[in-house]
Homo-oligomer: A and B are copies of this chain.
């Protein structure tokens, strides 16, 4: 029996989940929910429905797991607990400081209605978090490093677009090679924000806009750019479309630690991702955890969980015996 999946929100992430479902035989897409007029949303799965978000309750017996594909700022804090009344839910909530509050809200709603919620699923939080946990549990004396990129930061790109005179923009976060080399060499450097990442911006100006003033404004923007070495390139709209239309991302998690009677042996654990589509990879992680939610619910589990609480075997369509034979 296939797990019946719903998608809430049909942007890059929602479309990513839809195409990931086609790569997993044990899942089927039942319906996409949107806050737009369903007539204006065209999906590529002919067997699935497009519904208004308000109709959600009518689908409660037809969908097992709802995958939330909205944003962390305002969508998920509302939508994930709301959906947990009707379905098992999985989201990619990534506002770090608000995780305890979000966890509590999803936990309460899920438990009240006998559902499972898995929050903060993706690659960071998600796969990177898992690697931080595994490596620190194995090497309790050590130091963690996370580098992001090279990749497009949506939030930083948006921040540039809000500047007057900017027509469009794309921002890349890039790890500093020297910093990464020092970490890999086991030097355990203490790195400032500026020493870890640089930021490279590709900006399309409105006609007649003042490039010098805009470059100045970008580089001085606190929290986003002021703390970094930032490079700004002005390019044409056509160049932006041609060379910067993708949403690649990735990064590296490292832990350097010591063992031995005199802590004389060094170890380096490194996990890295190079992703041509940030949204589609995140969607693929969400779907693997949707499978876990579906299976855990069959065992009678409920409440809110994170990637830390899910045994890896639940993510794979293979059974225990096959997993042990092929992957152990």
Chain A residues packing against B (C-beta within 8 Å): 15-16, 19-20, 23-24, 44, 96, 99-100, 103, 120, 125, 127, 129-134, 136-141, 259-261, 265-277, 280-281, 283-285, 288, 291, 306-313, 315-317, 320-321, 323-325, 327-328
Q: Please, how many angstroms separate the alpha-carbon atoms of A325 and B283 in the complex?
A: 24
Q: In chain B, what residue has the closest Cβ to A268?
A: B274
19 sample A-B contacts, Cβ–Cβ < 8 Å, listed by A number: A23-B141, A23-B259, A24-B140, A120-B328, A127-B269, A132-B327, A133-B316, A133-B323, A134-B312, A136-B327, A259-B277, A259-B281, A265-B280, A267-B274, A267-B275, A268-B273, A270-B271, A271-B272, A312-B312
Q: Are B312 and A125 in contact (CB under 8 A)?
A: no
Total copies of this chain within the assembly: 2
Question: What is the CB-to-nearest-CB distance from A238 to chain B, in angstroms, rounded to a whole number?
Answer: 22
Q: Are B100 and A321 in contact (CB under 8 A)?
A: yes
The 3 closest A-B pairs by CB, nearest first: A137-B315, A265-B276, A259-B280
Please give, as numbers and ranges, the residues of chain B lying within 8 Å of A131 by CB-CB distance: 271
Q: A268-B273, A270-B274 are in contact. List 4 more A-B contacts (CB 8 A).
A: A133-B315, A137-B312, A269-B273, A308-B328
Q: Please, how many angstroms separate the alpha-carbon atoms of A127 and B316 in the complex?
A: 16
Q: Are A267 and B273 in contact (CB under 8 A)?
A: yes
Q: A309-B320, A311-B309, A315-B133 are in contact. Are A328 and B259 (CB under 8 A)?
A: no
Q: Please, how many angstroms separate the alpha-carbon atoms of A284 and B255 in the complex?
A: 14
Question: What is the CB-to-nearest-CB distance from A300 to chain B, in angstroms, rounded to a whole number?
Answer: 14
Please give, as numbers and ranges, the residues of chain B lying within 8 Å of A136 by CB-CB distance: 316, 327
Please give, as numbers and ranges, the residues of chain B lying within 8 Å of A277 by CB-CB distance: 259-260, 265, 267
Q: In chain B, what residue has the closest Cβ to A327?
A: B132
Q: Are B311 and A138 in contact (CB under 8 A)?
A: no
Q: Are B320 and A285 in contact (CB under 8 A)?
A: no
Q: In chain B, what residue has the closest Cβ to A16?
A: B259
Q: Are A312 and B307 in contact (CB under 8 A)?
A: yes
Tell me which of B19, B130, B139 contacts A261 (CB under 8 A).
B19
Q: Are A133 and B24 in contact (CB under 8 A)?
A: no
Q: Are B137 and A288 in contact (CB under 8 A)?
A: yes
Q: Are B327 and A133 in contact (CB under 8 A)?
A: yes
Question: What is the CB-to-nearest-CB distance from A199 to chain B, in angstroms, rounded to a whole number?
Answer: 23
Tell me which of B120, B284, B321 contacts A138 (CB under 8 A).
B284
Q: Please, how many angstroms separate the alpha-carbon atoms of A140 and B19 in the complex?
A: 12
Q: In chain B, what residue has the closest Cβ to A252?
A: B270
Please give, as numbers and ranges, the residues of chain B lying within 8 Å of A312 by CB-CB distance: 130, 133-134, 137, 307-310, 312
